[in-house]
Amino acid sequence: MAMYPLALLPVVTIVEGHARLAPAGYGESTQTGTVAQAIASWVHQGAAWIHVVDQDAVDGKPANHRHIVSSGAHLQYSGVVHDDATLADALATGASRVVIDGTDRDWAAVAVQAHGDRLAVGLDIRQPDAFELGAELEHAGCQRFVVTDVAHAHHWKHGDRHLLAEFCDMTRRPVMARGGIGHLGDLHALHELVPNGLDGIILDDALYDGAFTYAEAVAAGADRFDMFFWGPPQ
């Protein structure tokens, strides 16, 4: 049986230079540490890629670029990256990939042309022009999309999941789903979209709240997917 590529990325959220550490086993994460310690805690559990969210930048505060250091994993940085200055700062962190805001279409088109697979475009699946914007930026050279549903309930479930499926069918580029996983059942449901082009799932609160462990998330698709397709840093 052919194995589809699928990466599971735990989230490390930076607030004032600190982040929650991965739970040591079953149960809720109660400890915080430096960003390097938080990243290392997920590397220890087998994560080859980690999605780093600079929450201070998202909230309009000074960014935490100086705190972002590699600790044996590829990092995918997400903050507020929407112009040349914020992109340059994000790239300077050494992150393997940077998620940019595609709202400014002209700027985003130039950025993806210049940086290729180093960038992914972040989209809210519920914004009215999400599909149009995705098609336009794919034509411009976008190599990957990170798609989020900001709905407060039923995230990626039942009627919502068809939006992600339709986006995957629309684009020829790999798509990553951000968040919305509360239980292993939610992860299983997203697995069904991997043949449509979904090749990454970002895991956040469920891992920290004790809903399941990272090892359980990997095991949930181990017989169908190549979880190490992207590979660890060389």
> Which letter, b or e, does each residue of 63-76 get, where b requires 16 or more Cβ atoms within 10 Å of its Cβ?
bbbebbebbebbbb
Tell me whether residue 105 is in a domain.
yes
25, two tokens: 């086993």
Of 195, 222, 190, 194, the C-alpha closest to 206 is: 190
Tell me whether residue 234 is in a domain.
no
pLDDT digit string, tens, across residues 141-190: 999 999 997 665 545 554 568 899 999 999 999 999 987 788 899 899 99
pLDDT digit string, tens, across residues 93-146: 999 999 999 999 999 999 999 999 999 999 998 888 999 999 999 999 999 999
Please state, in angstroms and rounded to a whole number, the distance separating the CA atoms of residues 1 and 11.
31
Of 100, 188, 190, 191, the C-alpha closest to 144 is: 100
Tell me whether residue 194 is in a domain.
yes
Please state, in angstroms and rounded to a whole number, the distance separating the CA atoms of residues 52 and 81.
13
pLDDT at site 144: 97
Is the pTM here over 0.85, yes or no? yes
40 alpha carbon, distance to own chain's centre: 17
Range of the structural domain that residue 186 is part of:
4-226
Whether the per-residue pLDDT at 231 is higher than 80: the answer is no
Q: What is the DSSP string of 177-208?
A: EES---SHHHHHHHHTTGGGTEEEEEE-HHHH
CB-based contact 94:101 (threshold 8 Å): no
pLDDT at site 154: 47
pLDDT at site 92: 93
Tell me whether residue 109 is in a domain.
yes
- What CATH number is given to the structural domain containing 88? 3.20.20.70
Tell me whether residue 231 is in a domain.
no
CB-based contact 145:172 (threshold 8 Å): no
Tell me whether residue 177 is in a domain.
yes
Whether the per-residue pLDDT at 69 is higher than 90: the answer is no
pLDDT at site 229: 75
Q: How many domains does the chain have?
A: 1
Tell me whether residue 137 is in a domain.
yes
Tell me whether residue 232 is in a domain.
no
